[in-house]
Amino acid sequence: MIAFEGSSTGMKFVASGLTDVGRERDHNEDTFLVDETLGLFLVADGMGGHRAGEVASALARDTVHEFVRDSAVPTRLDVLDQAIRRANQRVVREGQANRAHKGMGTTIVALITDGDALGIAHAGDSRCYRFRDGALSRMTRDHSLIEELGGDDPAVMAALAGYSNVITRALGTAADTAPDVRRESVKTGDLFLLCSDGLCGPVDDAALQRLLAEGGTLEDICKRLIAEANERGGPDNISVVLLRADE
């Protein structure tokens, strides 16, 4: 568990993160980052045989972290965009250079503080949600076959039931993979959730909203979210990062 308090141009952010292997996997290919100094937060969900997924997610995390820390790019959103593009290049190269890591990849979702706003970037089906005034909103759209062909349309979901895990964009899968990026204004009290699909797969949005509304410390909420995913079978690794804007 990691928790911190940091500030950014008048807005104070409080964050916490947690990861869990779940109930059906024997190792954890997820990773997360909370860096109070840089104002950088991310979740990455690795994929690939022979534990290559955990290599991909860790490589992506470390590359983004290093690039943001060392970069002279003038705008925060551009820094995050370029950091994720660099991470993709490194995951691709590692997959090509090491036979054991061939075909590995990772999803990623990240936030970067930007004054009284946040930059949001993602590739894959790891998600960002915002909980504001008691209501939950998804801030990212999955790069998945189901979502790109119809999202929550019941007919589409039924027709593609056997393809629910097909990802259409992830780091390491193509040399030109790039994240979707946006800048979002922040209000005091906003709570942002980053998560791998080990949480948002078994736990639907209505349940997420209920769990966030129960309040408590960010540490407690992280534990509650993880516990809920495990109570619903824990079919995958589960990672969450919570970021709250305080006065």
Question: What is the model's pTM?
Answer: 0.92
Cβ proximity of 30 and 57 under 8 Å:
yes
Compute CA distances 224 → 14, 29, 30, 60, 113, whole Å. 18, 21, 18, 27, 25
Distance CA 105, CA 108 (A): 10
Given this model, what pLDDT does residue 8 score? Answer: 43
Instruction: Please tell me the predicted confidence (pLDDT) of residue 147.
Output: 74
- Would you put residue 77 in left (φ > 0), alpha (ψ -120 to 50) or beta? alpha
Non-local (6+) Cβ contacts of 77 within 8 A are 112, 114, 119, 121, 181, 182, 183
The domains found in the chain, sorted by start residue, are 2-139+171-246 (3.60.40.10)
The residues facing 112 across adjacent strands are 40, 119
Other beta carbons within 10 Å of 120: 23
Give pLDDT tens digits along the chain (247 positions). Answer: 444 444 445 689 999 999 999 999 999 999 999 998 899 999 999 998 768 999 999 999 999 999 999 998 889 999 999 999 999 999 999 999 998 899 999 999 999 999 999 999 999 999 999 999 999 999 999 998 877 776 566 666 666 666 667 889 999 999 999 999 999 999 999 999 999 999 999 999 999 999 999 999 999 999 999 999 999 999 999 999 999 999 7
| CA separation for the pair 61, 65 (Å, rounded) | 6
